[in-house]
Chains A and B, each alone.
Chain A
Amino acid sequence: MSSWLDYTINGLIVGNVYALVAVGLALIFGVSRLINFAQGSIYLVGAYIGWVAVVQLHTPLPLTIIVVAAAAAVVGLVIERFGLRPLQNSVRIAPLLATIGISFVLDQLVMLTFSPNPRALPSQLPDVRFQLGGGTIGPLDLLIAGVGITSALLLFVFLRYSKLGWAVRAASQDRDAAMQMGVDVNRVNQAVFGIAAALGGVSGMLVGMYYNQIDTAMSLQATLKGVVAEVVGGAGNVPGAVIGSLLLGLVESYGVAVFGTSYRNLFAFLLLVVVLVLRPNGLFASARQAPPEPLTGTFIAPSRPVRIPRWALAVAAAIFAVLPFFPVSFYVLQTLINAWLLGMLALSLTLVAGTVGQVSLGHAALLAIGAYTSALLSLTLSVPVGLAVIGGGLMSAALGTLLISPSFRLRGHYVSIATLAIGEIVSLVILNWEGVTRGPIGISGIPPLSLFGYDLISPSSVYWFSFAVMVVLALLQGRLLTSHLGRSFRAIRDDDIAARAYGLSLNRYKSLAFIFGGFAAGVSGGIAAHLYSYINHETFNTQQSILALTVVILGGLGNVVGAILGSVALVGLPEVFRIAAEYRILIYGIVLLLLVRFRPQGLLGTI
């Protein structure tokens, strides 16, 4: 049994690792007001470069650290120069989406180069432990602490005594005023991305050595933990990020001590949500920064939507409706069924993110809630499947709205972080609430779809069912958008302050949007559960949330027809071109990047 001191040491060491990631995030947020979702990917790249250096090139430890820091810094500079700088004058959501796309691309490149299988990353340090009070500490712990403290000192000296460091601080307090002093903001951005990447890369390498294992799943985890630590400390606040990281490390470590390992992440995300709700500026909010620009309004690329005549939509719907009568292969039907299910999720997200302006990154959680509800209703309570699916939709609507409601007072990027965290929390609760969800085992033997006592087993019947449900949801949503309610939604998105001044109750409207969107997503998840017949806590993951977001942007934010078109395109085109599964995510990432850069309003335009 480890002692409390051991848990404390472990918490502080892990906190040091988080700090290396979070400090970079804080620097970047300070200068650009951007949450860099690619930070975890750089950490991943750092870990694999470390592996190449140690295992293949047999570099000594000090050289390994330098190589990793330098290589990661180059990656950071490339991201800044080619990924983000071209977006300088774009809408505010563009750089955020770009970093998401970049992270997908980097993760997939690492996976394709090194295979998804975990690898060992030996630390080259002697495996001894020293007694320290009632606990023990090893050379690797000391190395991590040393790297953390040294980096903090170097950063302090840089910010306090170098000219570029002054420019970084000035730009993060008032970008325009800094430019008027002659500060070249591009150089400042370059500097912070380079530093953030070097620290992040070294952090990834150290973590790999700490657990003597690296794999591609590290990336998202690192981003999430870094973001948690950074927001807890106060976004953009560098010392705050360090303290937030240590706090996060300790909370996790003590949480694990009391409840067990599978609770580690749950504590991290609960900490985040609590901080966001109680102190959205972080625990150590010091900076009276220049008031942040409004995130709404300019948040969405304005454009004139492409008008598609009603008859054309009717003809398209009719063609898809009669498709199973023609000799199309099972494979085509299967692909389109997936597209319709994704379409329902995209309808939900395009309403929430596009029409109301709440860019959710945790939408897969709504699928999961719907899927589990429907599966459990039909399995344990023998509710007919048709009703169970509706039950799933209702549960997603209710629970999803309830869970998200604490974040209604947040704006812009913070909504994205909060929804990401809530999505993770849902998945972790499913993992840990074994009495209801059967925990890590998952739920198997879910009955197939059925309607009024008839099982829908043939591909064409499943096809019709999912297509019909999606069309009904789309028609309802189209109606909603042209109604008075729809106009109020858009008013909230375009200017929430003005909307409030007109007496619109924001919370009520946001709730309504999430109720409607939650229902659509829940129904999609419910249907999926009965199609797959097996689900577990990883069936509906962040990748699907991001895929849905890509679909929505591809179609045009808020655009109902666009959401469906985007789903068909993103599910269908890889099939048409027979692209191997492992390249698909890479392609989604590239599609997202190209859209953000060249057609932010999507194919059909935003509404």
Chain B
Amino acid sequence: MTTSVPEPLLALSGVNTFYGQAQVHFDLSITVARGHIVCLLGGNASGKSTTMKIILGLVKPRSGEVTFDGASLIGLATPQIVRRGIASVPEARRLFADMSVRENILMGAFVRNDRDAVAQDLDRMLTLFPKLGQRLSQRAGSLSGGEQQMVAMARALMSRPRMIVMDEPTMGLSPLYVDRVLELIRTINQEGVSVFMVEQNASLALEIAHEAYVLQTGKIVLSGPARALKDDPRVRDAYLGGSEAA
């Protein structure tokens, strides 16, 4: 197999999504190649989070197809989709605020039944996120935003997913933590986990992504290898509304 066109792990094709009367996605098609980091860029309310919810089965598209590893996800409930090997780091992290950090991380392994291996993976998370070691019995809701992001990522990894979907993982973090998170995403990816991430911060995301898509009011207006998009002035323009391109 050549590295340039690997078989896609996740594919959305021709997806149209509505909230009531309002259409949020117009004929959306996105593919995530095995082992790649793919980034979805776009301004506020362009439909990025909704794309994540479509993948996770939290929102049902009106038409279109979503496949993971060749099999359709349409009609599956969220827990079933998770069991296929997709983990998530939701927007604003969504930890279980009143459970301890340890319990939060272990909740990530809810779909697994191999207790010993789960315990080993918990230890592995503590080497990956060393700061969490001292916080294990603390209420998750009492952590700082950056620490919560670490917990959310550890929690997602605990299911041993084949793919992680992340919604704005750097949002609201200090520059130090932003770098840390990006580095971790790269590490996770190098261990073989594909990543689909939604970001507003294009320049940061394009540094680690293999491919990127730019979403504008529900339509993909630009896509391609991240390296190519990094210098493309249209990426910035897409955020500003597109029409006033120089």
Q: What is A's interface to B at a CB cutoff of 8 Å? A: 163, 166-167, 169-170, 173-174, 176-185, 286-290
Contact = CB atoms under 8 A, between A and B. Distances in A.
B98 interface: yes
A173 B83 contact: no
Given A182-B83, A183-B79, A177 B110 contact: no
Contacts of A166: 103, 106-107, 110
Given A163-B110, A166-B110, A180 B97 contact: no
A180 B58 CA distance: 9
Interface in B54-97: 56, 58, 77-79, 82-83, 87-88, 90, 94-97
A176 B90 contact: yes
B90 A180 contact: yes
Nearest to A187: B79
Contact of A288 (B78, B108, B141): B141
B99 A170 contact: yes
A181 B108 contact: yes
A180 B95 CA distance: 11
A182 B82 contact: yes
A486 B141 CA distance: 43
B88 A180 contact: yes
A177 B97 contact: no
Given A182-B159, A183-B79, A176 B108 contact: no
Contacts of A289: 97-98
Contact of A177 (B94, B103, B141): B94
A522 B97 CA distance: 47
A542 B107 CA distance: 44
Given A181-B155, A183-B79, A289-B97, 18 more contacts: A163-B110, A166-B110, A169-B98, A170-B107, A173-B96, A176-B94, A177-B90, A177-B95, A177-B96, A181-B159, A182-B110, A182-B111, A182-B159, A183-B110, A288-B98, A288-B141, A289-B98, A290-B94
Given A163-B110, A166-B107, A180 B96 contact: no
A169 B97 contact: no
Nearest to A169: B99
Given A176-B90, A288-B141, A181 B97 contact: no
A176 B77 CA distance: 12
Nearest to B140: A173
Interface in B84-141: 87-88, 90, 94-99, 103, 106-108, 110-111, 141
Given A179-B79, A183-B79, A173 B107 contact: no
22 contacts: A166-B106, A166-B107, A169-B96, A170-B99, A170-B107, A173-B96, A173-B98, A173-B99, A174-B95, A174-B96, A177-B94, A177-B95, A177-B96, A179-B77, A179-B78, A180-B87, A181-B107, A181-B108, A182-B79, A286-B98, A288-B141, A289-B98
Interface string B147-175: 00000000100010000000000000000
Give 3 closest A-B pairs by Cβ, nearest first.
A182-B111, A177-B94, A182-B82
B96 A170 contact: yes
Contacts of A179: 58, 77-79, 82
Nearest to A174: B94
A181 B90 CA distance: 11
B66 to A, nearest CB: 16
Contacts of B111: 181-182
A289 B155 CA distance: 19
Contacts of B83: 182
Pick from A173, A185, A286 the residue with the most CB of B within 10 Å. Answer: A173
A288 B155 CA distance: 20
A166 B112 CA distance: 14
Nearest to A287: B98
Contacts, number: 70
Contacts of A167: 110
Contacts of A288: 97-98, 141
B193 to A, nearest CB: 16
A367 to B, nearest CB: 39
Contacts of A180: 56, 58, 78, 82, 87-88, 90, 94
Nearest to B107: A181
A185 B82 CA distance: 13
Contacts of A182: 79, 82-83, 110-111, 159
Contacts of A177: 90, 94-96
A286 B95 CA distance: 16
A171 to B, nearest CB: 9
Nearest to A186: B77
Nearest to B113: A163
Contacts of B155: 181
A288 B82 CA distance: 26
Contacts of B95: 174, 177
Nearest to A173: B96
Contacts of A169: 96, 98-99
A379 to B, nearest CB: 56
Contacts of B82: 179-182
Nearest to B88: A180
B151 to A, nearest CB: 12
Contacts of B107: 166, 170, 178, 181
A163 B115 CA distance: 12
A177 B98 CA distance: 13
Contacts of A170: 96, 99, 107, 110
A176 B110 contact: no
Given A166-B103, A170-B107, A176-B90, A184 B79 contact: yes
Pick from A169, A179, A182 the residue with the most CB of B within 10 Å. Answer: A182
A26 B56 CA distance: 29
A157 to B, nearest CB: 15
A289 B111 CA distance: 24
Contacts of A181: 82, 107-108, 110-111, 155, 159
A579 B132 CA distance: 67
Contacts of A174: 94-97
B2 to A, nearest CB: 34
A173 B93 CA distance: 13
A183 B96 CA distance: 13
A173 B108 CA distance: 15
Contacts of B96: 169-170, 173-174, 177-178
A589 to B, nearest CB: 31
Contacts of A178: 96, 107
B233 to A, nearest CB: 37
B97 A287 contact: yes
Contacts of B94: 174, 176-177, 180, 290
B137 to A, nearest CB: 13
B26 to A, nearest CB: 24
Nearest to B89: A180
Nearest to B53: A176
A173 B100 CA distance: 12
B211 to A, nearest CB: 24
Interface string B4-32: 00000000000000000000000000000
B159 to A, nearest CB: 7
B188 to A, nearest CB: 17
A29 to B, nearest CB: 15
Contacts of B77: 179, 184
Contacts of B110: 163, 166-167, 170, 181-183
A301 to B, nearest CB: 13
A290 B141 CA distance: 11
Nearest to A290: B94
Nearest to A171: B96
Nearest to B108: A181
B35 to A, nearest CB: 23
Nearest to B52: A180
A169 B79 CA distance: 16
